[in-house]
Amino acid sequence: MQIIRYTIILLATIILAWLLPSFYHLLSDTSGRNVFTYYSSVDEAFCSIKFDEKEDRLIRYNVKTKKEYSEAEFDSILPMFYYRQLLSDGRFPDSINERAISVKEINSRNFFYRYNAKDKNTPAIPIYTLFESFSGRVKLEMPGDVFRLKNKIEFINPETNRVDKVKSERFMRVFVQSEFQFPAKGVFGNPSTRKPYDEGYMIIDNEDQIFHLKMVNGKPFLKNTLFPKSINPAFISVQEPADKSFYAFVFDDSNKVYLITADNYKVVQIQTPEFEVNKDRLMIMANPLYWNINVISSRGKECYALSADTKEVVDSLSLLAPAEYDFTLSNILPFELRFTTGSSDYIKPSVRFATWWVLLTNLLLIVTFVFIGKRRNKQVQPFELIWIGICGIFGFIPCLIFKE
């Protein structure tokens, strides 16, 4: 029966290691710094907005010169971001720093891209919708079938739940004739009708080659993008930008980001601040002159401004808060068990350990446990002492309350 008691203690320890730190976080957590920042094409510096609690107002300012602006001035400093307001006020400029600019150009080259680690770390059903990319219609329409792609490609009609053999064979022939190596490792697309056009899917084959699959006039289009062999793609985010200048962002297994351009699938590396594909968020706010690359992590935000043409870094900004020292998490709670994270939809246990100083706390708990045992005239077992020594407060509580 002792073994069952140990099992109860073990289970209670696991539950406490999960719940106690969770409650502690509920009481103590504060939000990370994620203020608005944008690279000014007029000032050629990062600008930001902060809230002044003393004066109870928003302060708009140039981060480099610390110069403050009124709301109207700020619109003019960031014409690529506030161009609708400038247009409405009749203040939209003809040129910025001697470069001619038009609203049409801004409309076609401005885009926002958001990547959250959850986009990658999420359970998905491997069934995909391939739209007709040359339908001649303004609005995309559902194609009437879906496909699966692992060891072969098969189209399934949802109304009958049967494989469309003719279409499947037509597409399979193209795969066989190409250098595509089955099984497919990953299929990435943007299966939404709320987009201007469809660029189909980027598919990683068994040799980490990236292929582009589309349906044009009902016929298959499959092309090897000749992605560099030195890069191991881990995740692809297919995009359909208004100016049709690129196809997708590719994230590799060493946390680098690449762009597959529409210029014959030329690959360009996008410089980013330190970025972890499986943890952090990436936001790209692009305009015809500069791309704002923002990496948002638990520590705060880091920004790069890239030249839109050359993709070279022209400026950077770090808004990282110094790592906070938490006495309880470092010295009282020996570890922290988590099953959920903001960067994944999967339920998975993960453990974060405290500092070695926690062993001192554990030792104090052992002494307390022995003292309580003696007062209650109860025998202290070696298992209990070892368990409290390892698990600290999480072991101490169950050993105490489940004592015979």
Partner 1 sequence: MEKALLYKEWKKTHVFTLTIGVIGIILMVYIMLKLGRSFRMAGMEHLWDVIVNRKQFLFRNLKYFPIATALCLGMAQYFPEVIQKRIKLSLHLPLPEKKVILLMYSYGVGILTIVYLLQLIALLVFSGINFPYEFTINALLTIAPWYIAGFITYLFVAAICLEPVWMRRILITLLAIALIYLFFLSDVPAAYQSVNYLLVVALVMVFPFGFYSVQRFKEGKQ
Shortest Å distance, C-beta 333 to partner 1: 17
d(CA 186, CA 210): 9
By the rule CB under 8 A, 239 interacts with partner 1: no
By the rule CB under 8 A, 323 interacts with partner 1: no
Shortest Å distance, C-beta 160 to partner 1: 8
Q: Which stretch in 15-23, 317-325, 355-363, 381-389 sits in contact with partner 1 by CB under 8 A? A: 15-23
Site string for partner 1, 69-108 (x = CB under 8 A): ----------------------------------------
**Binding-site member from 35, 72, 127, 360 for partner 1 (CB under 8 A):** 127
d(CA 278, CA 266): 26
SS3 63: coil
In this complex, which beta carbon is closest to partner 1, that of residue 92 or of residue 147?
147
In this complex, which beta carbon is closest to partner 1, that of residue 2 or of residue 177?
2
Shortest Å distance, C-beta 5 to partner 1: 7
> What are the angstrom distances between the C-alpha of 20 and each of 78, 291, 337, 343?
46, 43, 9, 21
In this complex, which beta carbon is closest to partner 1, that of residue 126 or of residue 218?
126
Name the maximum alpha-carbon separation found in the chain.
88
By the rule CB under 8 A, 4 interacts with partner 1: yes
Q: Which stretch in 29-37, 88-96, 116-124, 378-386 sits in contact with partner 1 by CB under 8 A? A: 116-124
What's the one-letter identity of residue 111?
F
d(CA 28, CA 228): 46
**Binding-site member from 8, 87, 176, 386 for partner 1 (CB under 8 A):** 8
Contact 308, 288 (CB under 8 A): yes
Q: Which stretch in 82-90, 221-229, 339-347, 359-367 sits in contact with partner 1 by CB under 8 A? A: 339-347
With a CB cutoff of 8 Å and minimum separation 6, the contacts of 136 are none
Q: Total residues contacting partner 1 (rule CB under 8 A)?
A: 38
Of residues 343-362, those binding partner 1 (CB under 8 A): 345-349
By the rule CB under 8 A, 26 interacts with partner 1: no
**Binding-site member from 68, 103, 144, 360 for partner 1 (CB under 8 A):** 144
CB atoms within 10 A of CB 36: 14
By the rule CB under 8 A, 19 interacts with partner 1: yes
Shortest Å distance, C-beta 142 to partner 1: 6
**Binding-site member from 37, 76, 129, 343 for partner 1 (CB under 8 A):** 129
**Binding-site member from 26, 100, 124, 351 for partner 1 (CB under 8 A):** 124
**Binding-site member from 5, 152, 185, 279 for partner 1 (CB under 8 A):** 5
Contact 251, 267 (CB under 8 A): no
Site string for partner 1, 384-403 (x = CB under 8 A): -----------------xx-
DSSP string, 187-201: EEE---SSSSS---E
CB atoms within 10 A of CB 242: 13
**Binding-site member from 35, 51, 84, 158 for partner 1 (CB under 8 A):** 158
What's the one-letter identity of residue 230?
S
Shortest Å distance, C-beta 191 to partner 1: 5
Q: Which two tokens stand for residue 248?
A: 């997708």
Residue appearing with tokens 């998905």: 124
d(CA 146, CA 68): 54
d(CA 2, CA 44): 71
C-beta pairs of 216-221 under 8 Å, 24+ apart in sequence: 216/132, 216/133, 216/134, 217/132, 217/134, 218/132, 219/170, 220/170, 220/171, 220/174, 221/133, 221/174
In this complex, which beta carbon is closest to partner 1, that of residue 64 or of residue 338?
338
Q: Which residue, 197, 232, 231, 233, is CA-closest to 216?
A: 197
By the rule CB under 8 A, 11 interacts with partner 1: yes
Point out which residues bind partner 1 (CB under 8 A).
1, 4-5, 7-8, 10-12, 15, 18-19, 122-129, 142, 144, 146, 148, 156, 158-159, 161, 191-192, 339-340, 345-349, 401-402
